[in-house]
């Protein structure tokens, strides 16, 4: 049927005149008239749609009208729904790929070519049955086939075993980069920090994601964090590196915990530790297993000559072909990398000196001990004690992570010493400003210092009793939020500030009594104590509430490396101080002024003037803020230990962050998210023995 005929029929059915239809469709009356009479035979798409809408046609009628006009109505395009998990996963994918590509370059993996890491199936007692795995498949392969091998495994659960230095880290890095293009985001998790009896695997993985990528601490769609949501939705593929690095006694509980999940994963471990765990419990459920092979003389003959002048390595390779002791040592990527750094990358070193050793352990010790001199040259004697302290410290902590917030030993003495020093200095400054530096004032300074030290010492003990201080992964922003956690922080500030204020008032009274034994404990003194407790408590509560309300998760760019996270924490702490001091000072001054007026009306004697109140609030805010920052924040502990105490005692350099960055650039350390690690556990073990 012609377009004009259809239009007229449906207009009349709707009881509309041509003028009424034109008005309702927002088209001209001449347009409607011309279309119905056939004078206009090529209506525009928008005109047809407007007429169909005005006539309230059904879907079939609309299609018929558009067909009569010689047009196909395009299907409505639904606006794309915002998927926060998809966006978070893509942001994480880009960060992971960039990070590990930089690490490959830093470790010279492709300079000149990757070492030929290969593997074969593990013994049958170290993997599950093929029925549980999803069918028998070929597992042998080489480095550039790691993803292909993984995808052959029906369960997508693969265990990679190898001795120390056999190339497990090289393999996991290549696995992540080859698999990062699509699907779940492969993320390397260092298992050495997992305590399976304290945290479930998923919860621990979420914590590690937030540590290395603070933006994932933002709220997720289901109320938890984005990190937890990504893990629960299996948008993260865990690459669990270093099963053998889990603390002694926890390998079996860890394997049991892994067996409660069906998560696709790749797990690496030294052979002996994994075998011991398997014999005590069971194999990793539904997991196939491979063992990395030693490098051969032919592998090295194709690699080492490419790293320097061709003939330099000829005597060493000849000795290896003859079955010499070197053939037992230069079989792992670690030892080959050390030898390459010492001899190929340092022109005045001749690898022929390796021929003078006759014991495999002696050669390994030589390579380990020569690595730092080859890297640092004349600075070796200066830096080696620092590396030794770091390695020894990590060994005592039972970790491989050089986390800047864990470089000191936290104890109640820390808070006590900081609080005492700052508190005493605070009152001396206060007394000087108020021109009240008397015997009573000095006594008061000592007493307030001890009380402040006791308060912050107890607070420090309470905070670190279960776990060390962690860096904040938030920033202060102008746009705030209010929720249960914000109110809880305010109550904490109220309680702590109230205790500090009451103690302040009590010490004032005790100082009066000690200097003037005849001084009576009148109602005025008790009111003094109560007012300070109330004002300090509410003031601290207000500041804590404001800080909590203004916090937001760090974005990705704010903490992409250890140095970035340290800088973000420094900015957060300085922002906190900039907020705490003036707000607390003004609040104390204003509130005590109002209270003083009320007490005077009630015939109590107020012992502080407005000027006194402002000074007390200002100096107290600075002292309280400093004590809080130095004893109860990770950045404060960094300042106390890494920037002052450890350099002062000669255990670490004064410019520690620059030292760590330099060690990373020289290849002594590697980055693992927000922490540094020694390039290999063998290096950490070697340096720890030097202490």
* Model pLDDT for residues 45-79, shown as the tens digit of each residue: 777 888 888 888 887 888 887 888 776 655 454 44
pLDDT cut 90: percent of the chain above it: 29
36 vs 47: CA distance, rounded Å: 13
Contact in structure between 356 and 659 (CB atoms under 8 Å): no
Residue 428 has pLDDT above 60, yes or no: no
Band of pLDDT at residue 601, cut at 50, 70 and 90: very low
Predicted confidence (pLDDT) per residue in 158-181, tens digit: 999 999 889 998 999 999 999 987
Q: Where do we find the tokens 């994963």?
A: 265
Predicted confidence (pLDDT) per residue in 634-661, tens digit: 888 888 888 888 899 899 999 999 999 9
Quote the pLDDT of residue 553: 55
Structure tokens given for 302 = 């194709």
User: How far are the Cα atoms of 9, 55, 69, 73, 317 from residue 60, in angstroms, in the given order?
Assistant: 15, 13, 14, 11, 82
Q: Where do we find the tokens 């030097």?
A: 690
All structural domains of the chain? 3-68 (1.10.260.40), 91-292 (3.40.50), 471-646 (no CATH)
Band of pLDDT at residue 384, cut at 50, 70 and 90: very high
Question: What's the mean pLDDT in 462-471?
Answer: 68
Q: Which residue has the higher pLDDT, 604 or 547?
A: 547
Structure tokens given for 70 = 């010689």
Band of pLDDT at residue 556, cut at 50, 70 and 90: very low
Least-confidence region, from 123-137, 212-226, 310-324, 444-458? 444-458
> Which helix (H) or strand (E) segment is 548 a member of?
helix 523-550
CB neighbours of 377 closer than 8 A, spacing ≥ 6? none
Quote the pLDDT of residue 412: 47
Least-confidence region, from 397-411, 429-443, 576-590? 429-443
Q: What share of the chain is helix, strand, coil (3-state, %, to 5)?
A: 65, 5, 30
Band of pLDDT at residue 557, cut at 50, 70 and 90: very low
Quote the pLDDT of residue 85: 87
Quote the pLDDT of residue 653: 94
Taken in order 384, 385, 386, 392, the sign of the CA dihedral is: positive
Residue 117 has pLDDT above 90, yes or no: yes
Quote the pLDDT of residue 391: 93
Structure tokens given for 514 = 């000690």
Quote the pLDDT of residue 180: 83
Strand order in the sheet with 157-161: 141-142, 118-121, 288-292, 157-161, 265-269, 236-241, 185-190
51 vs 356: CA distance, rounded Å: 96
Name the average pLDDT for the chain. Answer: 79
170 vs 178: CA distance, rounded Å: 12
Quote the pLDDT of residue 610: 62
Predicted confidence (pLDDT) per residue in 291-336, tens digit: 999 999 999 988 888 888 768 888 989 888 888 888 889 999 999 9
Quote the pLDDT of residue 266: 97
Angle between helices 45-55 and 59-68 (to 10 degrees): 150
> Which helix (H) or strand (E) segment is 539 a member of?
helix 523-550
290: phi then psi, degrees, rounded to nearest 5: -130, 160
Quote the pLDDT of residue 434: 45
Contact in structure between 208 and 260 (CB atoms under 8 Å): no
Quote the pLDDT of residue 604: 47
Quote the pLDDT of residue 65: 79
Q: Which residue has the higher pLDDT, 284 or 38?
A: 284
Quote the pLDDT of residue 426: 53
Question: What's the mean pLDDT in 135-149?
Answer: 93
């Amino acid at each position: 049927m012609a377009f004009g005929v259809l239009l007229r029929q449906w207009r009349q059915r709707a009881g509309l005149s041509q003028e009424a239809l034109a008005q309702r469709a927002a088209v001209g009356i001449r347009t409607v008239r011309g279309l119905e009479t056939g004078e206009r035979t090529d209506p525009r798409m928008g005109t047809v749609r407007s007429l169909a809408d005005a006539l309230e046609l059904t879907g079939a009628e609309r299609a018929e009208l558009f067909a009569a006009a010689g047009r196909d109505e395009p299907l409505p395009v639904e606006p794309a729904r915002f998927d926060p998990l998809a966006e978070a996963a893509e942001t994480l994918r880009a960060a992971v790929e960039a990070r590990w590509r930089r690490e490959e370059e830093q470790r010279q993996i492709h300079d000149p070519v990757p070492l030929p890491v290969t593997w074969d199936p593990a013994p049958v007692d170290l993997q599950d049955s093929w029925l549980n795995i999803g069918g028998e498949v070929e597992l042998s392969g080489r480095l550039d086939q790691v993803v292909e091998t993984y995808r052959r495994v029906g369960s997508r659960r693969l265990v990679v075993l190898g001795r120390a230095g056999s190339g497990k880290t090289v393999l996991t890095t290549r696995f992540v980069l080859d698999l990062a293009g699509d699907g779940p985001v492969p993320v390397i998790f260092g298992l050495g920090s997992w305590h399976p009896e304290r945290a479930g695997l998923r919860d621990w993985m979420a914590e590690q994601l937030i540590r290395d990528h603070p933006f994932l601490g933002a709220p997720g769609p289901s109320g938890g964090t984005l990190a937890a949501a990504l893990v629960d939705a299996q948008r993260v593929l865990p690459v669990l590196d270093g099963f053998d690095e889990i603390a002694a006694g926890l390998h079996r509980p860890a394997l049991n915990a892994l067996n409660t999940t069906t998560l696709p994963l790749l797990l690496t471990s030294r052979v002996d530790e994994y075998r011991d765990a398997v014999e005590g419990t069971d194999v990793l459920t539904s997991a196939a297993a491979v063992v990395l092979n030693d490098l051969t003389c032919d592998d090295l003959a194709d690699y080492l000559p490419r790293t320097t002048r061709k003939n330099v390595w000829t005597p060493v390779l000849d000795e290896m072909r003859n079955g010499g002791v070197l053939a037992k040592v230069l079989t792992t990527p670690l030892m080959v990398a050390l030898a390459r750094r010492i001899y190929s990358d340092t022109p005045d070193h001749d690898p022929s000196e390796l021929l003078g050793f006759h014991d495999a352990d002696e050669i390994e010790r030589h390579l380990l001990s020569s690595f730092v001199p080859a890297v640092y040259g004349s600075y070796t004697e200066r830096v080696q004690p620092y590396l030794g302290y770091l390695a020894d410290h990590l060994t005592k902590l039972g970790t491989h992570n050089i986390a800047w917030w864990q470089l000191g030993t936290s104890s109640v003495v820390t808070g006590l010493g900081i609080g005492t020093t700052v508190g005493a200095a605070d009152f001396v400054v206060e007394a000087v400003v108020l021109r009240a530096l008397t015997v009573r004032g000095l006594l008061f300074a000592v007493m307030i210092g001890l009380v402040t030290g006791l308060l912050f010492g107890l607070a420090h003990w309470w905070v670190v009793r279960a776990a060390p201080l962690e860096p904040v992964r938030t920033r202060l922003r102008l746009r705030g939020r209010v929720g249960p956690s914000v109110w809880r922080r305010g109550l904490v500030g109220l309680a702590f500030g109230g205790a500090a204020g009451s103690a302040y008032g009590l010490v004032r009274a005790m100082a009066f009594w000690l200097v003037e034994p005849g001084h009576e404990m009148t109602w005025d003194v008790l009111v003094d104590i109560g007012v300070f407790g109330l004002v300090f408590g509410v003031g601290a509560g207000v500041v804590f509430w404001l800080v909590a309300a203004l916090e937001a998760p760090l974005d990705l760019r704010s903490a992409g490396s250890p140095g970035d996270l340290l800088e973000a924490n420094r900015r957060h702490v300085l922002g906190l101080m900039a907020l705490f001091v003036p707000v607390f000072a003004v609040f104390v001054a204003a509130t005590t002024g109002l209270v003083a007026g009320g007490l005077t009306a009630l015939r109590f004697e107020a012992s502080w003037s407005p000027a006194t109140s402002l000074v007390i609030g200002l100096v107290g805010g600075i002292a309280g803020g400093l004590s809080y920052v130095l004893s109860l924040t990770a950045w404060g502990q960094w300042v106390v230990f890494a920037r002052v105490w450890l350099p002062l005692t000669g255990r670490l350099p004064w410019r520690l962050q620059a030292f760590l960055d330099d060690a990373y650039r020289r290849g002594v350390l590697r980055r693992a998210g927000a922490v540094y690690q020694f390039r290999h556990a063998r290096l950490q073990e070697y340096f720890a023995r030097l202490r």
